[in-house]
Amino acid sequence: MTALQITAVQRNEPRAADACCTSAGAPVLGSEEAQGKAHLFKALADPNRLRLLSIVKASDGGEACVCDLTEPLGLGQPTVSHHLKILVDAGLLHRQKRGTWAYYSLVPGALERTAGVLATL
């Protein structure tokens, strides 16, 4: 704590960090909401996962088999499956099992909601 902050505490004044959050009257992002949004951004923070989203979106019928996703990325099936699971857990992709293969498609509206997340900060 700086000398100025200590003086403010001694006088019972709000610190600058406390005051800045409420001075504009705008809603403040809560801890749980911030964690949820961070989870989404962490899922998008990997170039391979961004490529997977792009490939799935551009695929015929808007879906892609996991068997078709390993070659474009140059990664093994376990690694691709791990990235896909992260995207599913983040609510960006939907997984449908058909026989021995899993097919992935974009969750309707997921990209639009993701784009709107920053606007709500």
User: Cα–Cα distance between 94 and 8 in angstroms, integer?
Assistant: 52
74 and 83 Cβ atoms separated by less than 8 Å = no
Which candidate, 91, 19, 75, places its Cα nearest to that of 67? 75
How much is the pLDDT for 26?
Answer: 64
Report if residue 4 sits inside a domain. Answer: no
19: in domain: no
User: Is the C-alpha dihedral spanning 61, 67, 69, 72 positive or negative?
Assistant: negative
pLDDT in tens, the chain (121 residues): 444 444 444 445 444 444 345 555 667 888 888 898 899 999 999 999 999 999 999 999 999 999 899 999 999 999 999 999 999 999 999 999 999 999 999 999 998 888 888 777 7
pLDDT of residue 111: 87
Torsion of Cα atoms, 94 then 90 then 69 then 64, to 10°: 20
Instruction: Note down the domain range covering 78.
Output: 30-120
pLDDT for the residue 4: 45
**For the domain that residue 39 is a member of, what is the CATH number?**
1.10.10.10
Is residue 54 in some structural domain?
Answer: yes
Q: Look at residues 52, 47, 85 and name the one whose alpha carbon lies nearest to residue 68.
A: 52
Note whether residue 20 is domain-resident.
no
pTM of the model: 0.74
Q: Around 120, how many Cα atoms within 13 Å sit in the side-chain half-sphere?
A: 11
Amino acid identity of 6?
A: I
Residue 65 CA to residue 56 CA, distance in Å, equals 9
93 inside domain: yes
State phi, psi for 26 to the nearest 5 degrees. -80, 150
Q: How far is Cα 7 from Cα 10, in angstroms, rounded to an integer?
A: 5
Give me the number of domains the chain comprises.
1
